[in-house]
Structure 1
């Protein structure tokens, strides 16, 4: 098996980008991505029939459409919150930051998700209780009801919308990275280059409109299973293939300690130095305190059937932090592998590191599964 994966990796690398970023379409990986996308789209449209309460006028009730009837149990919530928080951009950007500048700008995501869940355990169950008692559906509802101010409620709603728009744009970055390494980003016609993105988000809008929160909840199950398979296989195979972790960390140390001619400073550090401690811990803590202020995070919490469901999730969601730690280390693996994330304009684009690493190191069919998981993550 190891020999076959190694041989397939060499074949895949031979079809990678040239110095100008031109690359052939990887048809096998692309077909796998398209098939899995169709599967999750069908699941999204069928979600409107899943656990719908007839007495609540189907999905015409805001509780049913926006919060899944407030009936999600521990496992559905675990997948939904994991899908909400660990998105396409997470799986692209965290290892990309590790590859480009090391742990200071990349690995902080791991401790911040660890710090996050005690906050969820202590505070968010109380938010659920108050919202459940008064029928609040959004953070704006909660603030308006607690403080009796319509203008404050409107301000919270607008802030949530504005904050979510760049968050959605980041998901486009993740999908764009997948499409680029598959060979679909080389079209000189801007509309044709972006057409797959347009199709993906039209389908996303359609099944969200018809299925409400149930659609991303079901799709998150498929996406997370694919992500776990891809990362577990990568962590089991790639370190052995590239000489072990000692060799990988050595290659990362050598690259990151190299002086950047543009700044006169090293590119980064494998381990944050003393001068980076304050930036590191404040970034981690601030991110932890902010994440569950996003509307989609609160929606995932309010869709649960009890406050104990939230507490149980706060205890098991750190499994995603373990996964994220392994994922982040793929940035160092890519350094050892000599991955060349060349964009369509011929420039280095760190966001392409993980998709390119999978294409270079695995058979096209397995790379398609990994890339599909990243793209589906944007749809959750």
Structure 2
């Protein structure tokens, strides 16, 4: 009796241990996939209706987007070749690198249509790869953010430190991105009246407030033997140097535009704008191009036909598919759910099994 009872106790103990160590999940309707589910059946009428709905929605949106883009007035003036004196046309790099050459250049633009304020001024660079891995990584965000991190120059090679006496002092801001800051300047006038350019609030507010510190000031910047681009005002914190902030937001493509400023007055049709350009930035050594862009905006931004063309293309294809499905549905109808069309009910020759 005793041994039999002991055996039963051991068996029960093994059973409880097995349950405790079991990896089987606790039962629930979710784990057993017993929850209510929607299982749509894509019948021909439903598929046709979806394609028609996409076409009806996308085509008007595309037309509205194209119309908005057409109302944007844009003037693009390429100036890198026009601002080279005739004597230096065969040695553009020598011209731009020389300290003795006059870099002042005067051009003019004719306003094709009325441009309502604000008129945005952009500079456009071509064949400039800001997305190069070494270039993008050549900065230190902690140094830019607050004064406590100005000694941090890791990742900024080769623009990390400047030789000052026996010691090496950190460059603020360090790195190739800041070092290559765009330094061409533009002045606009109409009938000898200067058009003021507002350079406030041209950078993202989040960048000004959170990425560039109000207590961080430029130090040892562009003090080396090789100058990359613009100088910075050493008495102004980085959070207020918006040209730098705009430039530091690197572009994803080799052709890009960056905001230079805003003209906050209307420009009228056929108005002739005179522009004095200081042609300082060296794009000649790598075959780049420079352009000046004046543009208005619409509710979708600047002039860009890609969005409208994309909507029209998708909408047009959807309507084409809908018409195709309608023709197939009418000319060659078939019973929905007919098992004879299943692959295992067909022989290799493709004929139904009798």
TM tier relative to shorter chain: under 0.3
Structure number with greater CO (CA < 8 Å, separation at least 6) is: 1
TM-score by length of 1: 0.21
Higher strand share: 2
